[in-house]
Amino acid sequence: MIGKRLLCCLLVLTLSVFSVGCWDTKEIEQMVYVNAIGIDFKDGQYSIYAQAISFSNLAKKEAGGQQSPDQIWVGRGYGRTIDRATDNLYPSSQTQVSWGHMKAVILSDSALRRGAYHEMLDAFARFGEIRSELYVFATKEPLVDLLTAHPILNLSSLFTQMVNPESNYQQFSIISPVSMREFNAYLREPSRTLVCPYLSVTKKRWSVNKKYFSVMQISGAALLKEGKYKGDLIGDEMRGLHWTQKKVGRAVLYVYEQDHPIATINFEHPKSKIKVHIEGGVPRFSIEIKATGAINELMQPRSQQNLTKQSEQLIADHVRKTYQTALKKGADVLQLEAALYQKEPQLWRTLNKKGSILDEQSLQSIDVKVNLASSGALKLLK
């Protein structure tokens, strides 16, 4: 009898010990999970826009349940500093806010000009709940419009370009996604220009039952060098980046003659290499680009030799135009200075003290080698 009582007491004690660790846990529905934030600066104070997501809705979608669009909640806090602005969200959040699942940060145009990224990096580094593997974007759009843009097909907000940019980048490589870790490293590296993607909202691309939805898209790039905002590249100004960025998945070349379309060529994983030459203490650079492509469209008859030559010239022209446009803004998007710094660090320091290292003549040559490996089911003219 005593043995049974002792056994019962031990069982109750054991269950009590194991249940102690669960007393302060919260159900998933009882937390506000921040998916992304936008940082704005106006009239002497910061505004933080926090996009909250519902994991319960995501579970229903994966189980084949809810098919209606997610309700996207966006909260706004404001204050003289970024930390005060985030704290300003808590009084109205109704329950505990979790930052551990945050996947993206968007800086408004005014925040970029303010240099808010310096305070952002400091605050995030000191707050252990935020991870470094999140993505950083810039925008010229109102942050509320961007954070409330829906993904297509009623997908969860976890499947937008803002939080999952790598997938879209591999299919159509415009501007390479930038993680918080890369943003921090490149911003502080004296020889490098940080190229940060711009997000915008388009309202006339995707519709369902003739009703158009606001969706996100990459529309350009913000340029930061030596910790300062230098300007941006928009539209055709950034075409040269297709061929010189790292980890490019797919780059598309549209061949025109006198505004008439000739061909569309798809290039997979083009590679580029920078070579540094020192002439009388002056650095000169050449770029080698190798790209293997497949012809997707051919609107006018062309031989393979002719189309190859046209493609090589167009790619070189795009790269040089992008280099010159960024250089006028005080930025080096081809990372020529970084190549010089790696090869001749002392020369870079000497030239940097004197002022600008690069000019339009610094990029002497762009050597492009195109291999048209496929023309699809149709043959080219010989």
DSSP secondary structure string for all residues of 202-248: EEEEEEETTEEEEEEEEEEEEEEETTEEEEEEEGGGGGGGGGTSTT-
Nearest-angstrom CA–CA distance, 322 and 239? 7
**pLDDT the model gives residue 196:** 96
Residue 197 or 258, more confident: 197
Residue 377 scores a pLDDT above 50? no
Give 87-116 pLDDT, tens digit per residue: 999 999 888 999 988 999 999 999 999 999
pTM, 2 dp:
0.86
Give 119-140 pLDDT, tens digit per residue: 999 999 998 888 878 999 999 9
Give 179-224 pLDDT, tens digit per residue: 999 999 999 898 999 999 999 999 888 888 888 888 999 999 999 9
* Axis crossing angle, helix 345-354 with helix 336-343, rounded to the nearest 10: 130
How much of the chain, in percent, has pLDDT values that exceed 90? 64
Give 15-38 pLDDT, tens digit per residue: 555 554 554 555 556 788 999 999
Residue 323, both tokens: 């280099």
**pLDDT the model gives residue 32:** 87
**pLDDT the model gives residue 356:** 80
Confidence of residue 155 (pLDDT cuts 50, 70, 90): confident
Q: Which segment of 61-65, 192-196, 228-232, 246-250 scores lowest on mean pLDDT?
A: 61-65
DSSP-derived letter for residue 158 is G
Residue 42 scores a pLDDT above 80? yes
Nearest Cα to Cα of residue 136 among 184, 169, 100: 184
Residue 56 scores a pLDDT above 70? no
Q: Which segment of 50-64, 140-154, 222-236, 263-277 scores lowest on mean pLDDT?
A: 50-64
Residue ranges of domains in the chain, CATH in brackets:
30-226 (3.30.420.40), 242-382 (3.30.300.210)
